[in-house]
Amino acid sequence: MPAVKSGWVFVFGVAALLILALGAYGAVMAVRSAASPVESLSESVATQVAQLLRPTPTIRPDPVAIVREVRALARLETIQYTVERVIIAETGQGAFGFLFGDRLLLVAHGTVIAGVDLSRLQPRDIEFDDLGRVYVRLPEAEVFVAALDNDKSYVYDRDTGLLTRGNVQLEAEARRAAEAAIRDTALEDGILEQARVNAESYLYGLLRSLGFTDVVFRSSGAQPLPTRTLTPIPFASPTP
């Protein structure tokens, strides 16, 4: 009988432990359930505070658009440069710069496109000879576009004095300077010469495909040919 009693005591003890464990688990879950609304409320308040401190700008374009000018273009774009420059713009950097100074560092990412404006070609700039050769005097290569990529350009750092809120026009001036610097970089690297070479290469293949036996490019300052043959040159028959 003592052994049987000991067995029942053990069973009741295990059952009591299970009941206590289940009760503790239920209490923990109840506490967590009660704390969830508080945590959600705290996150919501934190989000609203962040929106107040760093509001998202609302942009609404005016529905009225005015087209000022429409112009036909005949530009042959032959090369594009992608340039990145670092621009430092500053003002008030003197003995009291720590009070009234303003300084920013702009990482500028831009594009420069160059080519030849074919609308400037004149009839006298294209000549033929009796052998079916064509002589072309192309206009000077020029830069068509030198602009910043606003999606990739950004202000890396800005430091304003203790007693100033900064120059509101400083970033705009830095961006204008960046466009000029990007253009100058491309010019120094020889973008115009490469644009001319690319234009000649493209037009050479195009004119040869039209049936001319040869294409000769002349400089813009070259004198006209002594005589010109205006007889139409027959197109070459396609190769079977």
DSSP class per residue in 168-229? TTHHHHHHHHHHHHHHHHHHHTTHHHHHHHHHHHHHHHHHHHTT-SEEEEE-TTPPPPSS--
Give the pLDDT score at 236.
42
Which of 62-71, 182-191, 221-230 is predicted least confidently? 221-230
The pLDDT of residue 86 is: 94
CA 170 to each of CA 1, 86, 150: distance values in angstroms, whole numbers, following the listed order:
97, 15, 16
Q: How many helices (H) and strands (E) does the chain have?
A: 4, 7
Decide: 178 and 87 in contact? Cβ < 8 Å. yes
Q: For 80-107, what is each residue's pLDDT tens digit?
A: 999 999 999 888 887 777 777 888 999 9
Going by pLDDT thresholds of 50, 70 and 90, the confidence category of residue 17 is: low
> Residue 141 in contact with residue 116, Cβ under 8 Å?
yes
What is the pLDDT at residue 90?
86
44: which DSSP letter?
H
Predicted confidence at residue 211, as pLDDT, reads 87
User: How deeply is 51 buried, as exposed, middle or buried, from its count of CB atoms within 10 A (0-12, 13-18, 19+)?
Assistant: exposed
Q: Give the whole-angstrom CA distance, residue 143 versus residue 148.
A: 14
Rounded mean pLDDT, 2-11: 51
Residue count of the chain: 240
Evaluate whether 207 touches 126 at the Cβ level (below 8 Å).
no
Alpha carbon distance 191, 143 (integer Å): 8
> 101: which residues sit within 8 A by CB, 6+ positions away?
90, 91, 92, 93, 94, 159, 160, 161, 164
Given this model, what pLDDT does residue 4 score? 47
Q: At what angle do helices 170-188 and 191-209 cross, to 10 degrees?
A: 60
Asked which of 35-44, 67-76, 181-190, 223-232 is least confident by mean pLDDT, the reply is 223-232
d(CA 17, CA 53): 53
First to last CA, the chain: 114
Mean pLDDT of all residues in the chain?
78
Q: Is 7 exposed, middle or buried (0-12, 13-18, 19+ CB in 10 A)?
A: exposed
